[in-house]
A and B are shown apart, each in its own frame.
Chain A
Amino acid sequence: GESVGLHLPTLSVQEGDNSIINCAYSNSASDYFIWYKQESGKGPQFIIDIRSNMDKRQGQRVTVLLNKTVKHLSLQIAATQPGDSAVYFCAENPLGTYKYIFGTGTRLKVLA
């Protein structure tokens, strides 16, 4: 697989702690907001999405929060595990399209 040596902001978290990854978006007209996870050498994988008419959505060990007032999106990972180490991207899905516009990403490092 392929990966890119990205010079990214890095969040280091102790194993078992909760992680919060933040993202600012730009397009107020986006319909959905999505989080993707990219492990080293692989393509991005879908984690969770949230529609623009929601504030919060929960998945398995993950929660996404949307604050439309300040155009902010966050991903919370509960009880972070070594397998959560990856680069995390937020993405927007502009209304009426099937395009995905990605942010620049955050690297999550889980410390044993």
Chain B
Amino acid sequence: DAGITQSPRHKVTETGTPVTLRCHQTENHRYMYWYRQDPGHGLRLIHYSYGVKDTDKGEVSDGYSVSRSKTEDFLLTLESATSSQTSVYFCAISDGRSPTEAFFGQGTRLTVV
């Protein structure tokens, strides 16, 4: 696997609490992505980053914010978790030289109760 680490790997949290998921890479890739994966929807892009402090929204960004203060870390924050945000979250990275080959992390299973 490419050097991508997601943490935590599993989390259970209560509705209304803030949650931060971390994606850490050792590949020095420029592009980083957060996806969520749900039954019947496949992978949906939440936010992505094209450089330090440069981020943009994806298809399902409502209720999520991101930050990238250094190349290796991309944080996804749920400001006030809701049950609809129960999902498996995947981080991905891309170097941009190949526009298509993204490398994915192992995923984080988040349950909001």
Query: Which residues in A have some Cβ–Cβ distance to B below 8 Å?
Result: 1-7, 31-32, 34, 41-46, 49, 89, 91, 93, 98-105
Contact = CB atoms under 8 A, between A and B. Distances in A.
A104 B41 contact: yes
Contact of B40 (A6, A41, A45, A99): A6
Nearest to A32: B100
Chain A interface mostly: loop
A103 B59 CA distance: 13
Interface of B: 9, 31, 33, 35, 37-45, 48, 50, 58-59, 88, 90, 92, 94, 96, 99-109
Given A1-B106, A2-B106, A43-B104, A104 B40 contact: yes
B48 A99 contact: yes
A108 to B, nearest CB: 15
Contacts of A101: 45, 59
Nearest to A5: B39
- Candidate in B35, B48, B100 with the most chain A CB atoms within 10 angstroms: B100
A1 B90 CA distance: 11
Contact of B99 (A6, A32, A89): A32
